[in-house]
Amino acid sequence: MSGTEIVLHDISKIYGSRTVLQDLDLSLDTGECTVILGKSGCGKTTLLRLVAGLEEPSSGTLERPKDLKLGMMFQEARLFPWLTCRQNIALGLPKGADPGEIDHWLQLVQLTEAADQYPHQLSGGMQQRASLARTLAMHSELILMDEPFAALDYFTRAQLQQELRNMQQQLKRGIVLVTHNVDEALILGDRLLILQQGKIASELQLAPGPRDLLSPELITAKRSLLAALA
């Protein structure tokens, strides 16, 4: 699946005396799910923020189509507590969009029955679903995700991973996901990149289709990723 490319060339990012990214070259295809893996402090979130335009590189060039619609999800759902689930999702709608579209997104993330509830009435998993629906409602062509399921319990996280995988396949939206969780990377990623010492150290491409962590292909891939991350 091919989409628009975002191209990073010779990118470096320096904070004071600390170099986070160094001479990094990378092309991102907005038609697939790219997962960026790495240990804490390796520059994953910094790279994501550069792609989002939230920060500028210290040197190098980043080419992003001007009309590309980006959405971003963080570790926290960041819902407005005084707005209902429906109202939070409505904030993502572009100007002039049909308000009835909200029902579509509520149904897609399985929150129809919780539409009129406030964030404090929602579980952590439901809050993240609402956050995802708000991002999708923006008509985002590329969704940037910074460990959005990290704070959830194992079972809720596993459920949302599968749901996100299914939605990505259905909607054909591009995703760039930052994580340190190898299993999450294997379930969601089409292209897996390992970031080490501010550079892309290795890359793994996975075949399309359903993902089973117990399949021979993914067991082999997991061993390869763990060895590269060691």
Structure confidence at residue 1 (pLDDT): 45
Query: Helix or strand or coil: residue 36?
Result: strand
**8 and 113 fall within a common domain:** no
158 within a domain of the structure (yes/no): yes
Structure confidence at residue 3 (pLDDT): 60
73 within a domain of the structure (yes/no): no
Type of residue found at 22? Q
Contacts of 95 (CB under 8 A, 6+ apart): none
Structure confidence at residue 31 (pLDDT): 82
**230 and 151 fall within a common domain:** yes
**226 and 176 fall within a common domain:** yes
**91 and 110 fall within a common domain:** yes
74 within a domain of the structure (yes/no): no
H/E run at residue 60: strand 59-63
Domain boundary among 140, 167, 185: 140
**96 and 45 fall within a common domain:** no
**188 and 220 fall within a common domain:** yes
Q: How far is CA 194 from CA 136, 148, 207, in A?
A: 27, 18, 18
Are the beta carbons of 204 and 37 closer than 8 angstroms?
no
Domain boundary among 99, 123, 140: 140
164 within a domain of the structure (yes/no): yes
Residue 101's domain comprises 80-140
* Count: domains in the chain: 2
**107 and 46 fall within a common domain:** no
75 within a domain of the structure (yes/no): no
Cα gap 48→36, rounded to integer Å: 9
Cα gap 15→31, rounded to integer Å: 32
**117 and 207 fall within a common domain:** no
CATH number for 208:
3.40.50.300
pLDDT in tens for each of the 230 residues of the chain?
Answer: 456 689 999 999 999 889 999 999 999 988 889 999 998 888 999 999 999 999 999 999 999 888 888 999 988 899 999 999 999 999 999 888 888 899 999 998 999 999 999 999 999 999 999 999 999 899 888 999 999 888 888 888 888 888 888 888 888 888 999 998 999 999 999 999 999 988 899 999 998 878 889 999 999 999 999 998 88
Closest alpha carbon to 226 in 173, 186, 174, 171: 186
The 10s digit of each residue's pLDDT in 14-72 is 998 899 999 999 999 888 899 999 988 889 999 999 999 999 999 999 998 888 889 99
**108 and 3 fall within a common domain:** no
Structure confidence at residue 66 (pLDDT): 85
**155 and 197 fall within a common domain:** yes
**172 and 135 fall within a common domain:** no
Cα gap 114→79, rounded to integer Å: 14
CA 199 to chain centre: 19
* 89 phi, psi to nearest 5 deg: -65, -35
Structure confidence at residue 136 (pLDDT): 87
**184 and 214 fall within a common domain:** yes
Structure confidence at residue 2 (pLDDT): 54
30 within a domain of the structure (yes/no): yes
Helix 124-137 to helix 154-171 angle (10° resolution) is 20
Mean pLDDT of the chain: 90
